Structure formats: structure tokens, C-alpha cells
Structure 1
Amino acid sequence: MKMVFRWYGEGNDTVSLRQIKQIPGVEGIVWALHDVPAGEEWPMDKILEYKQKADAYGFHLDVVESVNIHEDIKLGLPTRDRYIENYKKTIEKLAQVGAKVICYNFMPVFDWIRTDLFKELEDGSTALFYEKAIVDRMDDPMDLVRKINENPDFTMPGWEPERLQHLTSLFEAYKQVTEEDLWNHLQYFLEQIVPVAEANGIKMAIHPDDPPWPVFGLPRIMTSRDNIRRLLSLVDSPSNGVTLCSGSLGANPENDIPAMVREFADRIPFAHIRNVRVYENGDFIETSHRASDGTVDICDIVKAYHENGFTGYARPDHGRHIWDEKCRAGYGLYDRALGIMYLWGIWDSLERTKQEARA
């Protein structure tokens, strides 16, 4: 397992590369050019700027999260081919700086959805929270957009204002798009992209929908074990994989994450490992990584990766906001660092047991 840490860049992150360097076992940063609009080709000079910063601290840039998909591709519009060509050129450029994995998602309009970015937990920390009733009764999704973007200090990936300025027209366009249409559009995209990824030694790794069910009447398809199985069969290639996110999929208690790890192990180049606590009414809140604090069995998930000799990349994904840290929602230093040490503790214990069994 190769541990990595998401970093949003200088001026857009409260966490510095110097601080990340001090977290044991972190080899690389998970990065992206967040100021490049979805669908545009990434400029090589900006890519090289990131590489220079990473090199200064001995970090690799193996994992990119995310190269966003333009809505025209998801909608299956005739204009999609231009954006797919830009995507191919970006893949080729990323390979030049050593990229091995590109994480992306295929969620219409929105990426992740939460109703409270700083919901207080029993111990006084705060975390990302989803209140099902609020989303179910919300007539105008713009209310949620305004809430997500009420903190002007940081851009929130997936919720960039320029991306959402045509929200009304996007919702109108998606009224004609069924789940099966979305599957067809995803297959078209993958058939074009995966050969380029293969030729450049890169694995495409789709992120599950967060949460893993339809919202605001929009179709969502990366929601379950069966759907991941279908995704992998659309283009049967090692370069067509999944970013298995235990938190996103874990919001639905019916999803057996350890079973997914065991089934899809050879097609998971990138893992997001985090915990959520799911309530009976459908609400969920992100917790510490400790298994007993949430609904997701983090111990068994790490065990499943270990059993299958996982050599891919993993990150602690989101964390709580603890010790009065002022940070981007879900992306502070302290709790994610604690999460990494918890994951290493499980992994090292499994390694020790394995070694003792051999002795």
C-alpha cells in the first residue's frame, strides 16, 4: 500500500507540503489543476509547476484527482468529442510527469453532496453531514449551492461557481437523460479514453457517487457492487478501474465494502479509506477513521486489501475538524494525519501476523 495525501496547492490549502512531509509513510500528493475548467486541456507549464513543488519535498505526482469530465460528455452531446480530445491530450501530458492513476467521476451536475460542512459531533469536533430530509424536500438546489459556497476562502471541488452558473439549463438538459443513457455515455467516453491511458501507462479510476443514490432527480450509476461490476465490463482493461471509496459507498449500509475489495482488488488502483456513521433515517455523518466510531468496518476493509497484496495508492480521504483547526471542509491536517496512522497501525499489525505465521 502506497500512502498519499490530497493537496490543493499553495494559496488554496491550509496544509503545507512541509507539514505533509512529517506524516509517516506519505510518499506522494494527490493533486489537480483546480483552476482549469472541466473539458479544457491542462497546460504543461502549470503541470510542471506542481511537479517542481512536489520534487522539492520528495513527493511523487502519481495520483491525479480529478481530471473532471465536461457535462457535454455526460449528456452525450455532439460537442463531447472536442472535450474528449482535450482529455486525451491531458492524459499524455500527465504521463510525462509520472502520473500513474487518474481519478474522475461521472456524476451529473454535482459531485459530492452534504447539507452541513461543520456539523458538531459529541466530542466537540465537526464534520461533513448529510441530512436526508433537507435534500428530499429542497425545491431549489441553488439553496444548497449557496450553502456549500458560503465560505469564500476556498474553492470546493465539484462546486466551483463557474461550473454551476448554468445550473438551471443543466437540470433541464438532464430531464431527458436516463440511467441507461448515462451508462451509454460513460461507455462511449471509456472506449475513447482507455486506449490512450493504456498507451501511457495510466489507470483510469472512477470514483463512486457520493452519496450513492439519485439526488434532485438526477441519474447516478456508480452506487453499488453490481454497478461497479458493470463498469469494469464496459471496457475490459487494467486501465479501466475504480477508486474504491469506503465513505461514499458506505453511506448505504447495504454496500459490503470488504466484499467489493476482495472481488475487485486487481482493478482498484486507488483507495479512499474513511468512515461514516449512518443513521436509520438515512442521515450520515463523517467520523474518525476508527472502526468503532462509524458504520463502516475499516479494519476488515484494510484486511481485505492486505489479503490481496494491495500495492496501489491509498489516502485517508476526509477528516473531521479537530483541535480548533481552521481549514477547508473535510481537508484539515490533524484528523487526516491521525487517520493515516490508524490505517498504518492496522496494516503493520497484519504484516507482523503474516511474518510470524511464516516463521
Structure 2
Amino acid sequence: MKESWRWYGDFDKITLDQIGQTGASGIVSSLHQIPYGEVWQRETVASHKARIEAAGFSWVVVESLPIHERIKRGEGDLSTLFANYRQSMANLAAEGVSCICYNFMPLIDWTRTDLAFPTSGGATCLRFEAYKMAAFEVHMLKRAGAEEDYQPDVLVKAEHWFKASTEADRAMLLSSIMSGLPGAFDRYDIDGLRKALKGYEGLGRSELRANFKRFLDEIIPAAEELGMRFCVHPDDPPRDILGLARIVSDAEDIAWLFDAVDSRANGLTLCSGSLGASPRNDLPAIARRFADRIHFAHLRNVAKDADGSFEEAAHLDGDTDMVALVAALLDEEARRKAEGRADWEIPFRPDHGHEMPIDRDRGYVVGYPLVGRLRGLAEVRGVIRALNAVRKVA
């Protein structure tokens, strides 16, 4: 497996020189400065790649080439947006960048209610607290029907929290949830979020699936011609949020995706943290079932509560058997290598990480500290080395 590291370019306080000290050899990156829907010009792609290679890395995965919200909504004439997307793909392929991670989550990306939840040793982690999310939806956003999405005991806790909260508490909760909005361009206050959500009224699971299939029909044939691999990132968390349908949340959804457009280019980013936040998902089983379509992996762990809450655990702790998951990925690599495939190696990155005291107040991207992720990479590296050593003995 190819050790990789997510780098946010000029938005990142962590430098490529610092990343070099982690031992990773691949960079996962994007052109975050370009608004959604615009073409990634070849010169800009080449310049970004040159910076990465000058530091001794290879640009192994684009994370991500974002999908404009109008495509997700199926809104109006989308021909220009699809054409721009394909041109960006062609410009990436022309520079030798061939793997693209993306997601199809409507409006909001990953969602957390706490960005600095205390954990062991003075570190903090990202956490999704069900009663806080309920308090936000029911009492702050006042979304119609929100009560139906939460257990009765969660709603009771939500009301208690809201009544006891200060304006500062509510502002912090809004800020935490808005941190999951993708890119650097959109953040909403309560009224702005209400208006944004109106654009998705009537867009249920079947409608979103139809729009997703339309995207795949427009893009995957071009990916095949260009020799590119696309890998969708699962929903985070794998449940409906803010009344918005999520359609890449479990094995059934993944199977639908691959049946919708049956092509090796139409693949999966196996994110053990996103899928692992649902008790219905067995990560090692999912990895083995869909192994031949996994093009990229995010490895992290979560600890779940019965009410739907969860927090990001240390990489080898939590509810997912990380050793069994890595073993499944190594078995798939061995199978690909035996077939003689040039693309047998699966790039992975340590996804997120606890913010250690040494990471604090350094202005890192939320969820992406230096030392916390380095710990995760080192732990997963040890698992890989140990499993490979056992294979050699066997």
C-alpha cells in the first residue's frame, strides 16, 4: 500500500518539507482555489504537480475534483458544467494524474458538532453528538420534520441543551457544523442555511440517485478513454443530514453505484471512518466484497454510541478491526499484482487524527493536524509491515 498524505497547498500550514519527515511518498491534493464548475487549466495542474514533485513526492490522488451543486440537484442546462468537468479531467490526465476522489453529498460534506472534544493525554478529536445535532435542527434551524430523525431520549437531551445554552454555545455549534461545507467559498448563518436548503426541496433518495447516475453516465466514459480511475467517497456520517438524502452510506448503496455504471473506472474510496460510523457496516466485509473497485483508502477509526453519536478514535482503537481491514486491502493488492496490473498498489492516507497538545494553535486545517496524523500513519504502517512479514513466513 502506498503511504500518502493530504496536502491543502497554499491553504495548508503544513509544508511539503514537513510532510517529507512523515515517511509518506504520495501526496493527495486538489486545486482548492478554483471555484466549483470552472475548468482546471492544464498550466495550473502542471504547476501544482511540479511543486509536489520538486519536494520528492508523487501526486497520487486528486481529492477532490468537486461536483457543482447544480449537478447534484439536476438543475437546468448542465452541459457546460459537464463539459468543464471533462476538460479538467483531460488536463489532469495530460499531466499524468489519473485517480480522482470525489463525493456526491448534497450541500454539506462531513458533519461534526464538536471540533475539539477532549480525549486521552490532553488531545482532542472530532465528535458527532446526536443531541447537539438535534438541538441545531429542531431548535435553531427549526427544520420541519426534524424531530422524526431522532430518538425520543435524544430529543429530550436536545431541548435541555438548547435551554441551557448561551449565544456563544449556539454560535460554536453552528460554526462546527459549517466546517463541513466543502471548499473555501460557502459558509452560512441560520437564515442562509435555510435558503440554501430550499434548493433541495423535493430531492429525495430516488431523485438524487437519478442525478448521480446522470453524472456517472457523463463522466465515466471519459474516464475510461483517459485511463482514469474515479472513486466516490462515502457519506460522512452515513445517514441523512439536515433533511438531505445520503446515497453512499452502506454496502447496498455501493452495490447500486457499481451496477448503475459497470466499469472499473467507477470505483470506491474506502473510508473506514465514514462507513464505520454506522453500526450496520462491517468494514472488512465491505472491503472484501468490493475489493476490485477500491482505488483509494482513508484509514481512521470511530467509536460509536447507541444513540447515533460517534467520535474519531485513535487509528487502531475504536469499533473497526483495522488489522482485518488492512489485511483485506493487502490481499487485493496481491491479487492485482498476480494479474500483472501496473496499478496494483492501493494508495492510502491516515484520515484525520487527534489534535495533540503540540498541534494546538498552529492553524492547521480542522481534522488534519501534523502530529496526530503522523501517529496514525505510523500505527497503520506497523500493521502493514507486520502483516506482510507474516505473509512472507507463510
Give TM-score scaled by structure 1 length: 0.92
1:245 paired residue among 265, 271, 277: 271
Residue 263 of structure 2 aligns to a residue whose secondary structure is coil
Distance 1:205 1:145, change over 3 A: farther
Q: Are the aligned partners of 1:39 and 1:70 in contact in 2 as well (CA < 8 Å)?
A: yes
Quick check: 1:6 aligned with 2:6?
yes
2:222 paired residue among 163, 183, 196: 196
Quick check: 1:73 aligned with 2:71?
yes
Aligned pairs for 1:75-154 (under 5 A) are: 75-139=73-137, 140=140, 146-148=174-176
Q: Are the aligned partners of 2:112 and 2:180 in contact in 1 as well (CA < 8 Å)?
A: no
Deviates more, 1:54-63 or 1:306-315: 306-315
Deviation at 1:137, TM superposition (A): 2.8
Question: How many residues are treated as equivalent by the alignment?
Answer: 349
Deviation at 1:164, TM superposition (A): 5.2
CA RMSD between the two structures: 2.0
Quick check: 1:323 aligned with 2:357?
yes
Structure 1: unaligned runs, 5 residues or longer: none
Q: Are the aligned partners of 2:42 and 2:95 in contact in 1 as well (CA < 8 Å)?
A: no
Q: Distance in 2 between matches of 1:157 and 1:248?
A: 16
Q: Distance in 2 between matches of 1:148 and 1:323?
A: 20
Q: Distance in 2 between matches of 1:239 and 1:164?
A: 35
1:264 paired residue among 290, 296, 301: 290
Counterpart residue number, 2:54? 56
Deviation at 1:117, TM superposition (A): 0.9
Q: Distance in 1 between matches of 2:70 and 2:374?
A: 38
Larger radius of gyration: 2
2:374 paired residue among 334, 337, 342: 337
Higher helix share: 2
1:213 paired residue among 229, 239, 255: 239
Quick check: 1:41 aligned with 2:39?
yes
Quick check: 1:299 aligned with 2:323?
yes
Structure 2: unaligned runs, 5 residues or longer: 142-169, 335-344
Q: Distance in 2 between matches of 1:225 and 1:126?
A: 31
Residue 26 of structure 2 aligns to a residue whose secondary structure is strand
Quick check: 1:30 aligned with 2:56?
no
Deviation at 1:27, TM superposition (A): 1.8
In percent, how many aligned pairs have the same letter? 38
Deviates more, 1:124-133 or 1:303-312: 303-312
Letter aligned with residue 329 of structure 2 = Y
Letter aligned with residue 147 of structure 1 = S
